[in-house]
Amino acid sequence: MSGSTGCREAIALLEDWLKAELTPEVAEQVRAHFDRCRPCFRHAEFERRFLAELEAAGRGDRCPERLRAELLREIRGADPA
Amino acid sequence: MTEIGARTRDFETAVLPHLDLLYRVARRYTRDTPRAEDLVQETVLKALAHWDSFRPGSNARAWLLTILRNTFVSGYRKARREAVSLDPEALDRVSTRPEVAADPSGEFFARITDERILAAVEALPHDFREVVVLSDIEGMSYAEIAQVLGVPVGTVKSRLFRARQRLQAELLDYAVSMGWVRPRVAG
């Protein structure tokens, strides 16, 4: 990618950009496009917030203590030492 | 606490930090809490039995999730008579996202609940559900997910793209039905 990034290019790279899977140089060009293009910014912002909500919704669960203790017992019960 | 051997200690150091992750992924895979607990237990015991095949310093998270996934696919999924192999045609039939509804005041994000989001995730077909869970909930990279699924990175990306489209369509349809956002009128 060279020069300034167009809308189509920026949106095509949006998924990778949100996942931080672009090189720093390309990521910066995509960000620069969103900074100056209102419709693309809104699109990117919706996707970013959507992913943030999804992560927050799914990350609440923890392994129950009872299961953790049971697993620890089984692991140590198998210990030959 | 009695003394434990180096093998057990190394195993615990590598595996115990990932129990929450394994539990969350197992819940999303099985969509059932008791079955999720069984799946985690079976995964950890298999990992212990195969601990000698784990390369020290390699990615324990991906290794554990590969075991969990294989265990799920070979046992739990068959037991439920769910399709075991990916059916690309079935996934292609998935509708794509309608035009994003107009939501100028952010009502969608203000009102959508965690329960509603997780219900929509659980309603996804397995192959879509798992990439969303591993990528967007657990924060794994494309490369890590490709390793766990045993598919090319490009497959992970395309599956993830379509999974998100479907998830958004589901949730936006709901938001429209609740009157939170207006459907975008064509033309």
Provide the token pair at B20.
């929450």
Confidence class of residue B97 from pLDDT cuts 50, 70 and 90?
A: very low
In a domain, A31, yes or no: yes
Does the residue A57 lie in any domain?
yes
Q: Closest CB to A60: pick one of B48, B114, B142.
A: B114
Give the A-side interface with B, CB within 8 Å.
Answer: 15-16, 19, 21, 43, 46, 49-51, 53-64, 67-68, 70-72, 74-76, 78-81
Is A1 within a domain? no
Mean pLDDT of the B169-173 span: 89
Confidence (pLDDT) at A66: 97
Contacts of B100 in chain A (CB under 8 A): 43, 46
Distance from CA of A81 to the nearest CA of B (A): 5
At residue B34's C-alpha, the angle toward residues B8 and B50, to 5°, is 25
Contact B136 A51 (CB under 8 A): yes
Flag the least confident range among A58-62, B2-6, B14-18, B20-24. Answer: B2-6
Contact A75 B167 (CB under 8 A): no
For residue B133, give both structure tokens.
């869970």
Whether the predicted pLDDT of B117 surpasses 50 = yes
What are A21-78's pLDDT values in tens digits?
999 999 999 999 999 999 999 889 989 999 999 999 999 899 999 999 999 999 998 8
For residue B82, pLDDT over 90 is answered with no
Q: Using the beta-carbon criterion (under 8 Å), do B4 and A79 form an inter-chain contact?
A: yes
**What confidence score (pLDDT) does residue A79 get?**
77
pLDDT digits (tens, 9 = 90+) for B32-58: 999 999 999 999 999 999 999 999 889
Each residue of B59-95: b (16+ CB within 10 Å) or e? bbbbbbbbbbbebbeeebbeeeeeeeeeeeeebeeee
Question: Which DSSP state fits B102?
Answer: B
Q: How many domains does chain A have?
A: 1
Domains of chain B (ranges, CATH numbers)? 6-79 (1.10.1740.10), 88-177 (1.10.10.10)
- Tell me which residue in B8, B139, B168 faces A75 most closely, judged by beta carbons: B8
Give the CATH number of the domain where residue A60 resides: 1.10.10
